[in-house]
Amino acid sequence: MSPKNLLFLTASLFLALLDITFVVYNNQRAEESFQHVIQEEGENLHRDYEATKAQTLDNLLFVATYISRDEQVQLLFEQATRAVEEEGGGPGGPRAAELRQQLLAEVQSSWQEVQKTFDARQLHFHLPPGSTSFLRVHKPEKFGDNMDNLRHIIVATNQDQTPRTGFETGRVYSGLRGVVPVFAPETSPEGPRHLGALEVGTSFEEIIKLFQQQYQIHGGVILTPTHITEKMWPDYVEERFGSDLLSCQCGIESKSSDFFPELIMLMQEKELAFFTSGTRTLESGETHYAVTRIPLYDYQASQSSQLGPAGSVIFWRDITADVRALESTLRFNILLGLLGFLFIELLLFLGLRLSLQHLEKEVERKTLELRQKNLHLHKISITDPLTGLYNRNAISKNIEEGIQQHQKHGQPLSLLLLDIDHFKTINDTYGHPAGDQVLITLAQLLRSNLRETDCPGRWGGEEFLLVCANTRLDQACKMAEKIHHCLNTTDFPGVGKVTASFGVVSHQLEEDASQLITRCDQALYQAKENGRNQVVAKE
């Protein structure tokens, strides 16, 4: 063989080897990019779910707070608790039954409105000291059962009278819940004593439906057999879950598609753990799926690291078209690699690079879209939907940050809590739309009269809380008087003059957030007791 032919053969073999190397390299990059997109979509889906769940829990807590502060509800519940005590506890007797029906009639209309507006599924009054059912508005024929060893979120709320949210399973119902303590009305002879707890709940079905509508992603929720059998009534378990507990070792709580049971069986066949976090692709015949699993912990597990998940939230989408596109890209790369030699190799290299650049741009585009969605969901998660101000969760975080600044750097922190006087009368007289407009107008008034460093938010119902960083008590009082004056000189559309009572406090170094808020609430109550429409500061 001549040196020229040897050189040509060597060059050809070198180029062929280089060709193969480039093909293998670019195919590997394409597969890695594809897997990266799938994993990142799963991570962003997990974050979107957590933000949506947090907003849902805030909404439930808002509804529970609103209903629990209705004076007629408080009065009836106070009479009911006395009747139960006088009639031997448990379900009580005839007087308790009569008051149970009166309370049901009182909350029925507002409960129907809450169901429409917030997709709520459960309204439940509980008696202390633990958790004894007094009235299930959603299932009024069931009452009187004691759930001290089952409804831990209720027991905790009745123990310390602190609002809570979380996921928990009851006798017949499993879902997200907001729980608040209920107190006797201020007009009660014994004062605002603690009566029990009020719980508002919804199912995961609404969150799953939201993801299906907005992102075209299906979802479902499963519970562990142990969790189901320990919590629910046995006859309801058989009726609700049937053979699911045996066939897949899980109970399907909710789903957006009838395909979900088949997906569960596919996950079992592929040995994909149900109750661990992560995203993985699965293949069933000609169809490919991206499956994201999010472990579901109930309230009791959230308080103890020793307890495992109660179930799992599972999202999936059909990625067959994406897989086919990837396979097409891989085949195209191999075909180009077979063309060989210098000119073809050069064209191949350029083509592959262009293809890879296009894929990377697509990854960047999808990443940007996901980030924009995350920003939007984050804004929703910290914003009150009616007034556009910060919600309770965001305000609570701002208070914690202000306390840290005070403790570390000596920057004073003041709170200003205002409550619209006779707001229930406004709703009853002019209607709830007019009441909502009063809240919106007051929010606009707050924005126009506060400094950039002030953090206004809707604390709940008709209460608004202002977090004033680096502000002394006297400065906060001046601010409260300014807002008070503006409020008294403002005509509210369709309502006229509206007044409010103000409570102002400044943080003391030994206080935590709960103690600071309690003092602010006490100052507000003092303003109410003094005749309303005034500012009361509390040292």
Which residues are part of the catalytic machinery?
A: 462
Q: Could you give the CA distance from residue 245 to residue 264 in angstroms, rounded to a whole number?
A: 12
Tokens of 68: 């629990």
**How many other C-beta atoms lie within 10 A of the C-beta of residue 233?**
14
**What is the residue whose two structure tokens read 């169901």?**
115
- How many CA atoms lie less than 13 Å away from 473 in the CB half-sphere? 14
Contact 147, 133 (CB under 8 A): yes
Tokens of 416: 């200003």
**How many other C-beta atoms lie within 10 A of the C-beta of residue 538?**
16
Question: What is the torsion angle, in degrees rounded to the nearest 10, for the CA atoms of residue 339, residue 340, residue 346 and residue 351?
Answer: 30
Question: What is the torsion angle, in degrees rounded to the nearest 10, for the CA atoms of residue 174, residue 77, residue 516 and residue 435?
Answer: 90
**How many other C-beta atoms lie within 10 A of the C-beta of residue 227?**
20
Tokens of 321: 């078209």
Q: What are the beta bridge partners of residue 254?
A: 221
**What is the residue whose two structure tokens read 């633990």?**
130
Helical residues (DSSP H) of 431-490, grouped into ranges: 432-449, 473-488
Cis (ω within 30 of 0) for the bond into 129? yes
Q: Could you give the CA distance from residue 181 to residue 458 in angstroms, rounded to a whole number?
A: 19
Contact 268, 292 (CB under 8 A): no
Residues contacting residue 155 through CB under 8 Å, at least 6 positions apart: 130, 131, 148
| Closest alpha carbon to 501 in 473, 526, 474 | 526
Per DSSP, which regions of 170-286 are E strands? 174-183, 194-202, 218-223, 251-255, 278-284
Rg value, the chain, Cα: 30
**Phi, psi at residue 255, to the nearest 5°?**
-160, 155
Contact 67, 54 (CB under 8 A): no
Contact 274, 267 (CB under 8 A): yes
Q: Could you give the CA distance from residue 268 to residue 222 in angstroms, rounded to a whole number?
A: 13
